[in-house]
Structure 1
Amino acid sequence: MDAADIQDDLARVLITEEEIQARLAELAEQVWAHYDDGQDVLLVGVLKGAVMVMADLMRHLPGSVPMDWMAVSSYGSGTKSSGVVRILKDLDADITGKHVLIVEDIIDSGLTLSWIRANLLSRSPASVEILTLLRKPDAAKVEIDTRWVGFDIPNEFVVGYGLDFDEGYRNLREVATLAPHVYS
C-alpha cells in the first residue's frame, strides 16, 4: 500500500520507500563486513514489526545468513510502550557461542529492546549487536548500545513498513505519522 492510497489517514510521510531501501543496502554492506562475510552470525528479528526490515535487509546481503524470530509484547492497542515485556514466541535456535544481531523496526523508549538484549546475553552468545531501522532519541528512557541505525526520527507515533496502529498500516511502504482523527 502506498501513502497515496490512504492520504486522508496520514499527517505526513517521514521516510520514503526509496530512502528505506537505499539505507538498508548501506546497512547490509556494513553488517556483512563486520561479520567477515556473514560468518557465524544469526539474525534475530523481533516480531511483528521487524518483518519488513528483516526481509529487505536479508535481500541486500550478498550471501546467506540464518535467521530466527522472537515475539514479545510491550504495547497494548495504544501508542505508548507499557514497559512490561512478555515473550510470546522464543527463539528456536540455541545461541550459545553465536554472534547474534537483533533486527528491530524501531527503538522508542528502549525498555523492550533492553530487556530482549539482556535476555539474549544470559544465553551465552559470542556477542549481541543491534540493528534498527528507526530510533527516537528524544523518547529514550534507557540507553541502548545500537551498532547500526537507519534513521533517527522525531518522538512521534509512526506507522508503515511493519509498524502498526491497532494492527493496521503495517503494509504501508513508507514510514509516516497518522492524522489525529485516526487515533483520537
Structure 2
Amino acid sequence: MIQLHDLEFVPYISEETITTAIEELSVQINRDYEEKTPIFLGILNGAFLVASEIIKRFPGACEVSFVKLGSYEGTTTTGKVQTLLGLTQELEGREVIVIEDIIDTGNTLVEIDRILREKKVSGYRIATLFYKPEAYKKELSIDYIGIEIPNYFIVGYGLDYDGLGRNLTQVYKLKK
C-alpha cells in the first residue's frame, strides 16, 4: 500500500503487465504505420511514459510532439478541458498517432479531435494504455487499447493524484 496526499492506494497492475501491453500496442502501430512517417502526439502530463515507450519501439522515421490538456481536480474530472500547452508544430496533411495514458470520460479526446480537425491533419488514430469502457460515452473510436479496466481511480505509470504518483512503475488503485 502507498499513501499519496490524503488517500491510500493498493497495488493493481504490475510493471510486467504494463510492459506487455505496450509491446502489443507497438506491434499494432508499427504494422499500421510501416513505411509512413507519422507524428506521435503525446497528451501531457500523463502520457509521457507510455509515449516514450511506444515511440522508442517504432522502427521507422517519425516526429514527436506534445500537447498539455487538463480536466481533473483531485480524483474527479471537472468536465471542462483546458489547453494548457498548445501545439506549435505544423500538422496539416500529416498522419498523427495520439497517445493517451488513460481514456475514461473521453472529454480530452473531443478536444483533441477539435484541434486536429482545425489543424487539417490527413488522419489520426488514438492509442491508450488504459481504457475505462464503463466511463467512456463519446463517439470517437479508439484504435489501440492496451488494458481495459473498471472505472477505478488509478495512479502510477504517468497517472497522478494531485501531482503525486506519476513516477511509480506499476499502477495502484484507490483503496476502498
**Is the shorter-chain TM-score for this pair beyond 0.5, marking a shared fold?**
yes
Aligned counterpart, 1:83: 79
**Could you tell me which of 17, 39, 45 is aligned with 1:48?**
45
Question: Partner residue of 1:120?
Answer: 116
Contact map agreement 2:67 2:87 (CA 8 A) in 1: yes
Structure 2: 5+ residue stretches without partners: none
Give, in angstroms, the shift of residue 11 of structure 1. Answer: 4.1
Quote the RMSD (CA, aligned, Å). 1.4
Greater strand fraction, Structure 1 or Structure 2:
2
Aligned AA (2:113)? R
Q: Equivalent of 2:172, from 159, 170, 176?
A: 176
Q: 1:157 to 1:26 in 2, by over 3 A?
A: same
Counterparts of residues 63-78 of structure 1 (less than 5 Å): 63-76=60-73, 78=74
Which structure features the higher share of helix residues?
A: 1
**Aligned residue pair count:** 172
Does 2:30 align with 1:32?
Answer: yes
Rounded Cα–Cα distance in structure 2 between residues aligned with 1:113 and 1:23: 21
Task: Please identify runs of 4+ aligned residues in structure 1 that moved more than 4 A.
Answer: none
Is 1:106 the counterpart of 2:113? The answer is no
Identity %: 35
Q: Show CA shifts across 1:31-73 (max 9, x none).
A: 1110124x22100000000000101111222234211000011
Unaligned stretches of 5+ residues in structure 1 = 1-6
TM-score (norm 2): 0.91
Counterpart secondary structure, 2:92 = coil
Q: TM-score, normalised by structure 1?
A: 0.88
- Within a 5 Å distance, the mapping from 1:12-31 to structure 2 comes to 12-31=10-29
